[in-house]
Structure formats: C-alpha cells, structure tokens
Amino acid sequence: MAKILVTGATGQIGAELTLALRERHGADNVIAAGHRREPSGNLAQTGPYLSLDVRDAAALDAVVSGQRITVIYHLAALLSAVAEEQPLQAWDINMNGLLNVLESARKHGCQVFFPSSIAAFGPGTPPFDTPQDTVQHPSTIYGITKVTGELLCDYYHCRYGVDARGVRYPGLISNQVLPGGGTTDYAVDIFYAAVKQRHYDCFLRADTQLDMMYMPDAIQAAIQLMETDANRLMHRNGFNVTAMSFTPAQLAAEIQQHLPGFTIGYAIDPLRQAIADSWPRHMDDSAARVEWGWQPQYDLTAMVTDMLRHITAKLRNE
Ligand code: AKB
C-alpha cells in the first residue's frame, strides 16, 4: 500500500491533489506538508497535516523514514514572478528542496513526482507546437530551477534508480486555493473580478497566448503519470502537457458569453509580460499522449462554465 507525502500541500496544486489522493488511497495514507500557508477547509479536516520546510533536509528525512513514505509529490516551490523578485530564495527553495526530496527518496526507495513548467523553455525555443525535446534555455530564475529540476530527476533515476517522474505544467486555473506569484495568475484572478466587479485589469497584453489547463486535468495528469507502468515510458521527466491555449482577450470573450456586461482593461506589468513573452505559445504534448495516455477533459468553454459556477457559489457563501 502506498504511503504518500505531499509537500507544498497548502498551495494551488497541493491542496486539490492531496484531497484527490486521499480519496484514492485513504485519508490516513496521505500526509499533507506545508510551510508558508496554514491549511484550511477540507485539507485540514480530512487527514494528517504537518508543518515542514523542505529546505530542512533532516526534518524532511525524519518524516520520510518515520512515516514509512513510499511516494512523494513534491510541490513546494516559488512561482515565476515572485522568484524573479527573490532569485536567491527561489534557488534555495526550488533547488535545495528538490535535492533534499531526491536524497530522501534515494535512501528510502520512494517514487517522486516533480512538476516542471512551460517556464523550462525560453526565447530560443520554437513557440508553436513546441517539441518534447528541444532547446531549453530559460531567461528566468524560475525556469532555470525547472530545467535543473528535470535534469536532477533524470540524474537520480539513471544514477540511483529513483523512480522520479514529472510533467511541464502550463498555467493552471483553479477555484479552491489562489496561485500567488505566477505569471499566468491572471487567468484565475479574472474570474473573481468578473463575478465581483464585472471588470478586470489584466497585467498581460491582450494578445499574450499561453498554454493553460484546468485543475482537475492537472491532478489527473500527475496521478496518471505516477501510476503508469514504467516500461511504457521513454521519457520520465518534463513531459509537455497542455489542455488549451488562449490569450487574455480570448478568455475575456468567453467570460462575456456568460456575463455580457463584463469588460477587460490592460495595465501591463513589464516584469510578468517579459516572462510570458519568453515562454512558448502552444506545446506539442504528443509524447505524454502516446507514452501514458494523457487526455485532458476540459477545453476553454468547459473550463469557463465550470469556473464561473464555482466562483459564483464561493463568493455567495463568503
Ligand atoms: C507561473 O506562472 O509561474 C506558473 C507556471 C506557468 O509555472 N503558473
């Protein structure tokens, strides 16, 4: 039976992934670990939680060995925009955290999930139908930690046989926990503003096309990849995965189908615009589709309908 540790469990992905894993493996078999935010709602009520800074190698190793952990979903990280403001801290959390996780996994025989990102690509990468294996030369510290993370995971697999796997997530859209500090956060913020104020000022240009995914698909991708027979995998880490690709203007037009009075304006943040401009527009995720059956369920229309339903209900209850 799997005994799972989720680091970064209070974050945007972690909170929902922990609940999905608890449904699948039983609440007591999934330990949520967080550091910078307090657990809230279902996360705190449905199973074990502990406070853990992934930079503390001894503390992490004590949890992994003491709790007889067999699988680690390592989600603790700083996102792209906040990392650009604190590059040394981003390196410390994103790299030393991962290294500590891989070392514990090596010592105790754990499987590891590591989320990379579209940020692992850079301005020299082909922006459309970005291949699985291509130029990776990111211009952000976050992207550098993601490429290095992919390489470290491959290294620990080749050198020590650690079963480390991962995907390159695009921007993730969700309605439980806010992202915070990312370049694609506009695609979440816009829903709250649309429901509350019927207006949103976007920090990216109207024509900034980026890959995106709705959270239920992101959760499915992580679990499905981790449960795939290893013999099917030709790659292990950094699988391109995407579900849709749109611009702020296209997202606003889709929201207007539901809320005709909604308007969008643009107040460009040069830092986040430069980051977005360095990322691909649309990745080719055929390797994930072929090697482990990746198949997203939500396109732009389905995602917007579901997001508006959830955010409206959430704000009504606040
Ligand atoms: C960010 O915007 O930093 C993240 C990402 C694309 O990795 N959402």
Quick one: pLDDT at residue 38? 86
Ligand 1 mean position, distance from CA 184 (Å): 6
How far apart (Å, rounded) are the C-alpha atoms in residues 318 and 315? 5
Work out the pLDDT band at 41, boundaries 50, 70, 90. Answer: confident
pLDDT at 201 over 90: yes
Q: Tokens for 233?
A: 């995998």
Tens-digit pLDDT profile for residues 253-267: 999 999 999 999 999
What is the DSSP track for 32-97?
A: EEESSS---HHHHHSS-EEE--TT-HHHHHHHHHHTT--EEEE-----HHHHHHSHHHHHIIIIIH
How far apart (Å, rounded) are the C-alpha atoms in residues 28 and 21? 10
Report the run of H or E that residue 263 belongs to, with start and end.
strand 263-266
Quick one: pLDDT at residue 44? 85
Q: Which domains does the chain have, with CATH numbers?
A: 4-170+214-240 (3.40.50.720), 172-212+243-282+298-317 (3.90.25)
Q: Is the CB of 83 under 6 A from ligand 1?
A: no
pLDDT at 36 over 90: no
Catalytic residue among 49, 142, 156, 200: 142
pLDDT at 9 over 90: yes
- Alpha-helical (H) ranges within 134-264 are 141-160, 186-197, 215-227, 248-258
CB count in 10 Å sphere of residue 63: 19
Mean of pLDDT values over 286-315? 98
Mean of pLDDT values over 289-306? 98
Tens-digit pLDDT profile for residues 93-128: 999 999 999 999 999 999 999 999 999 999 999 999
- List the one residue out of 298, 150, 280 whose CA is nearest residue 220: 298
How far apart (Å, rounded) are the C-alpha atoms in residues 25 and 16? 14
How far apart (Å, rounded) are the C-alpha atoms in residues 132 and 214? 21
Contacts 24+ apart (CB under 8 A), 290-293: 291/228, 291/232, 291/233, 291/234, 291/235, 291/239, 292/224, 292/225, 292/228, 292/232, 292/233, 292/239, 293/224, 293/228
Residue 51: φ, ψ to 5°: -85, 125
The amino acid at residue 111 is Q
142: annotated active-site residue: yes
Mean of pLDDT values over 234-261? 98
Which of these ranges, 39-53, 160-174, 262-276, has the smallest mean pLDDT? 39-53
Mean pLDDT of the chain: 97
CB count in 10 Å sphere of residue 105: 24
pLDDT at 92 over 90: yes
**CA-nearest residue, atom 1 of ligand 1:** 182
Ligand 1 mean position, distance from CA 78 (Å): 9
Of 75, 117, 139, the residue with max ligand 1 atoms within 8 A of its CB, to mutate for a pocket test, comes to 117
Residue 153 buriedness (CB in 10 A; 0-12 / 13-18 / 19+): buried
The amino acid at residue 260 is P
pTM over 0.95: yes
